[in-house]
Homo-oligomer: A and B are copies of this chain.
Amino acid sequence: MTSLNLDVKKLLKIAYEEALIGFNEGGVPVGAALLDSQGNLLGKGRNRRVQDDDPSVHGETAAFKNAGRQTCYTDKILVTTLAPCWYCSGLIRQFRIGTVIVGESQNFEGHLDWLREAGVEVIELNDVGCKVLMAKFIQQNPDIWNEDIGECGNHTHA
């Protein structure tokens, strides 16, 4: 319970600004930041699938990378504009990131309950700005969005 005394909307703004830069670059507008328990920024980043032709960089993994090596994440806070996919949820769980602040889970539901069940503190902000930006991108670029979440209409598993 690291984030209760922090201004979560202010932290979300760091992630949103990354998402907005990504949108203006033509990329998938998901931004994220990793912070310490006092809310100090350790690293931030955004999805870079389009910008770098790199499918491995989601907003959350970019923030994680840019924060550099940390010996422990249980007291860290990850803020992201969109509910994390399995890839990023797995990152959160493996490294035991203590708190996750989520801008919205309307455009992508993610696996927030799976994280909560593993003991992660998840705060969903239902943020209008995040919802509008993501919806706009998905509407304009459905193929890129589907590629980014592995939706290819040929599902062999859940």
Q: Identify the A interface with B (CB < 8 A).
A: 49, 53-57, 61-62, 64-65, 67-75, 85-91, 93-96, 98, 118-120, 147, 149-150, 152, 154-158
User: How far apart are the CA atoms of A97 and B36 in the complex, in Å?
Assistant: 34
Overall SS of chain A's interface: loop
Query: Contacts A55-B65, A65-B54, A69-B147 known; A91 to B90 CB distance under 8 Å?
Result: yes
Distance (whole angstroms) from the CB of A132 to the closest CB of chain B: 24
Q: Are A55 and B72 in contact (CB under 8 A)?
A: no
Q: Are A119 and B71 in contact (CB under 8 A)?
A: no
Residues of B within 8 A of A64 (CB): 55-56
* 7 pairs of A and B residues whose beta carbons are closest in the complex: A119-B157, A90-B90, A72-B152, A56-B65, A95-B150, A86-B94, A86-B90
Q: Are A49 and B69 in contact (CB under 8 A)?
A: yes
Closest to A84 in B: B90
Residues of B within 8 A of A87 (CB): 87, 90-91, 93-95
Which of B55, B68, B75 meets A70, CB within 8 Å? B55
